[in-house]
Amino acid sequence: MTSSPATRLRAWVPAAAALALIGIALAALAVLGGRTLPERTGPPIEQLAVERTDLAPGSIELVLRNTGPDPVRVAQVFVNDAYVDLTGATDPIGPRAADTLRLDYPWQDGQPYVVSILTSTGVVIEHDIPAAVATPRADGGFFAVMALLGTYVGIIPVVLGMLFLPVLRRIGHRGIRILLAITAGLLVFLGIDATLEGIELGERSGGAFGGPALVVLGAILAFLALTAADRWLNRGRDNDHRPTGPRLAFMIAIGIGLHNLGEGLAIGAAYAIGELALGAALVVGFTIQNTTEGLAVVAPLTERRPPVLHLLGLGILAGAPAILGALVGATVNNAELSAFLLGLGVGAIAQVIRQIAPALRNREGRALDPATLGGTAAGLIAMYLTGLLITA
């Protein structure tokens, strides 16, 4: 029995009236509330975070973010205790606002520097530059290097791992369960690694937009979005909650792709500030580690023979986000954005692990038996050991 438009309209009228009353109350509090409360005593709270450092010959450019509740005015800046001329940030920086400060200073390549920012009230905020190196310019050659690096650490390793599919087809039902358990172990390690890195980035951001909470927000949003996508892909099917085959491979590829997006962010940001040693050791290390991700993608396809183009698409879906991540990480280099995107990877991985879990059950309905526990442990150990080969 469907309700008429008039009935639905009457149902919405109380909700609209409640929202209107809440809006009026909030507006009244905003206008009158502050006048009825006493002013805060004590000196202003001045907090600045350096979100980005750009170095060019003869100059240091800092992007400052006010992470405190009060406006901050920059009075003087010292580099290694030497007073320097500056331009920018002439007006007070409001709460959560940002401004750019340019310092005229003949820095030397590879040398460490301490930038001391003195506010108008005498507060000193220090920022360390461990090793000065010129920030790469975003030109054609730069984008080519980032695309090549993302291909090396993302697409190529995943596709190489997928080449083991013919070998994996020769294992039986128990072997498939062990292989999926190894996949779960790999994903658990990736999720933990992304969580720790995201929290570290969130703390480094200064917390103006939530800090580590951005990782949690990204994870929840990704988990909900992939849950909705899974429901959409599974519409019209029965209630079997053991997703296998192409659908599970697709979900695994999405989860690994979002993780590789975060991995690319870290690589691009490290390259931009000169902390990444590009070379054969880096490429080989990432190739060995990320080859296991290709195995994880094809693990649900051992009982099927998908077209080559389908497999190639899965490989690109899982590996190509590393290219985008490297480009964003090197050009934007924003800690808040990186933490949020790493959170997306964490949420995607959590959803994929949830998808894999029903397929780990044996014929008796048990998921936690020696085979699956051993496989999960093997996946964790494999990711840890291969991660030791990566030298940045």
Task: Determine whether 304 is exposed, middle or buried from the number of CB atoms within 10 Å of its CB (0-12, 13-18, 19+).
Answer: middle
Q: Edge-to-edge strands of the sheet including 74-79?
A: 82-83, 74-79, 113-119, 124-129
Residues of the chain with pLDDT under 50: 239, 241
| pLDDT at site 250 | 86
**Residue 19 CA to its chain's centroid (Å):** 35
Flag whether 3 is in a domain: no
Residue whose tokens read 């820095």 = 107
Is 8 a domain residue?
no
- Cα–Cα separations (whole angstroms), residue 298 to 159, 253, 261, 302, 358: 10, 9, 20, 7, 17
Domain assignment present for 203? yes
**Which of the listed residues 107, 129, 151 is the one where a domain comes to its end?**
129
Residues in the chain: 392
Statement to judge: residues 301 and 184 lie in one domain? yes
Look up the domain containing 125 and give its range: 48-129
**Same-domain status, 338 and 192:** yes
Say whether both 198 and 97 belong to one domain.
no
Same domain for 111 and 88? yes
Give Cβ neighbours of residue 216 (< 8 Å, ≥ 6 apart). 343
In a domain, 12, yes or no: no
Q: With respect to residue 20, please indicate whether it lies within any of the assigned structural domains.
A: no
For residue 15, being part of any structural domain is answered with no
> Are 206 and 311 part of one and the same domain?
yes
Q: Is residue 258 part of a domain?
A: yes
Residues 152 and 117 in one domain: no
> Do 247 and 382 have their domain in common?
yes
For the chain, the maximum distance between any two Cα atoms, rounded to a whole number of angstroms, is: 79
pLDDT of residue 115: 92
Residues 104 and 219 reside in one and the same domain:
no
Last residue of a domain, one of 97, 129, 161: 129
Q: Against a cut of 0.75, is the pTM above it? A: no
DSSP 3-state assignment of 114?
strand
Fill in the DSSP letter of residue 137: P
Of the residues 63, 97, 129, the one at which a domain ends: 129
For residues 201 and 331, state if they share a domain.
yes
Same domain for 157 and 267? Answer: yes
Asked if the structure places residue 278 within a domain, the reply is yes
Give the pLDDT of residue 114.
92
- Which CATH number covers residue 92? 2.60.40.1890
Residue 102: per-residue pLDDT: 92
Burial class (CB in 10 A: 0-12, 13-18, 19+), 327: buried
Specify the pLDDT at position 278. 58
Residues 196 and 119 placed together within one structural domain of the fold: no
Task: Note whether 199 and 330 are same-domain residues.
Answer: yes
198: which residues sit within 8 A by CB, 6+ positions away? 212, 214, 215, 218, 262, 338, 339, 342, 343, 346
- The pLDDT assigned to 280 comes to 60
Number of domains in the chain: 2
**Residue 307 pLDDT:** 85
